[in-house]
Amino acid sequence: MDFLFTEEQERFRQEVRSFLDKELPSDWVDYIGTAIDDTVAPRKDGEQVFKDIAHKLGKKGWLSLFWPKEYGGQSCSYVDYLIFLEEIASRGSPGYNAVGVKMLAPTLFKYGTEGQKERHLKLITKGEEFWCEGFTEPNAGSDLASLQTKAVKDSNDYIINGQKTWSTFANYSDWCCLLARTDPELKRHRGISFFLVDLSTP
């Protein structure tokens, strides 16, 4: 079995590297190296850098590498996708909204309505819509069956009450994919629903 990358894959790796060399702020790598220190202030331009890079990644078609073509993807192999992830991770590159690209989107592929797919997938691939996750709670981490956030049906809507934490990308996001308990009478591993929440909602 040949474990070497193909020439085409190596060219793709170099293309991603060249893109990052050109598009990342010159001090970005140094900043990322110190960002885990709580005494380092967040970059004032952090959100704008994230969104600018996301938009450019979208133009390259790299935010939907492994997506099926029917949903605007490239249908690339997972090796190509992992090369891309490896390169952006090695530079601490912003712009890759993993929650939207590889968590929310595949869920919509399988379970979303046509309206939801039309509304969200195109914007995610363009780097124009950002998602965070609303799963973890103060008393429900890896054991999501312990979540306490409730969603109560109210006519055509749901009223959601609860608390979420560790919501990755929340500070940049437009939408949240959120888990809430809709049927407290069922066993705790059941009666949990998946909501698409517009973060501009009051």
**Model confidence over 26-60: pLDDT tens digits?**
887 666 655 555 555 667 788 888 999 999 999 99
**Model confidence over 106-134: pLDDT tens digits?**
999 999 999 999 999 999 999 999 999 99
Structure tokens of 22?
């050109």
8 Å CB contact between 191 and 179 = no
What one-character-per-residue DSSP string does 44-109 give? TTHHHHHHHHHHHHHHHTGGGTTS-GGGT-----HHHHHHHHHHHHHTT-----HIIIIIIHHHHH
C-alpha angle 135/165/187, rounded to 5°? 40
Structural domains in the chain plus CATH codes: 7-125 (1.10.540.10), 131-198 (2.40.110.10)
* Single pTM value for the model: 0.88
